[in-house]
Amino acid sequence: MSIFPPEKRIWWKEPIERSEILWIVIALVWSLIMFVMMPYWHIAGEQNLSNEAYRIRPEVFAERTEAMAEKYTVREEGDTGIPVVHPPAGSDIYMLARLWEWWPVLELEKDQTYRLHLSSMDYQHGFSLLPENINLQIHPDYEMVVTIKPNRSGEYSVVCNEFCGIGHHTMVGRIHVVDK
Ligand code: CUA
């Protein structure tokens, strides 16, 4: 407690206690270990996505997404008739976020690599890919580009995990991964 000034006003000229030195050294060493672990675990742990981010206007992003959908839609799905798009393996693919949907549904091939572009048309949304543990924040005016290679066929859900208004809980998208 330092309600009252210390007895010895010039306390910083006192010799440092042994135990104090010890704690300073422990704290320093530990902080250095943590510091090195960040880049090390990014590479060795394979837990974080190596993603890229670029500036892009929402209209431009929507144009590219629509162009892809127009070219590669294979069918429609659900009550809303949302297009299911099957783009060629190895290509750039797009999914846009807006109140309150992920558009369109993507159908990808197992063991193929894609560059997935994500951006928002309006507010901040959260791209959470289930059942994988992948989370990305999706903002308007920026596109996130993630290189993905699905290694398991099946159905994936894209759940919005940033609160974005009254329809937030209904904002669920879909990615199908099929064997080829
Ligand atoms: Cu979009 Cu919550």
What does each of the 180 residues of the chain score in pLDDT, given as a tens digit? 567 877 777 878 888 889 999 999 999 999 999 999 988 988 887 766 777 999 999 999 999 999 999 999 999 998 889 999 999 999 999 999 999 999 999 999 999 999 999 999 999 999 999 998 888 999 999 999 999 999 999 999 999 999 999 999 999 999 999 997
Looking up tokens 């704290």 gives 27
Q: Where along the chain do its domains lie?
A: 51-178
Looking at residue 1, its pLDDT comes to 55
Looking at residue 47, its pLDDT comes to 66
Output the CA 130–ligand 1 centroid distance in Å: 15
CA distance 96 to 143: 9
Do 114 and 91 meet the contact criterion of CB atoms below 8 Å apart?
Answer: yes
Within 10 A of 37 (CB to CB), how many other CB atoms are there?
A: 12
CA distance 100 to 84: 17
Output the CA 134–ligand 1 centroid distance in Å: 16
Ligand 1, atom 1, residue with closest C-alpha: 125
CB hemisphere CA count around 141 (13 angstroms): 1
Question: DSSP letters of 96-143?
Answer: EEETTEEESEEEEETT--EEEEEEESSS-EEEEEETTTEEEEE-BTEE
- CATH architecture designation of domain 51-178: Sandwich (2.60)
Nearest to 156 by CA among 124, 134, 141: 134
Looking at residue 96, its pLDDT comes to 97
Looking up tokens 């060493």 gives 29
pTM of the predicted model over 0.85: no
Looking at residue 134, its pLDDT comes to 87
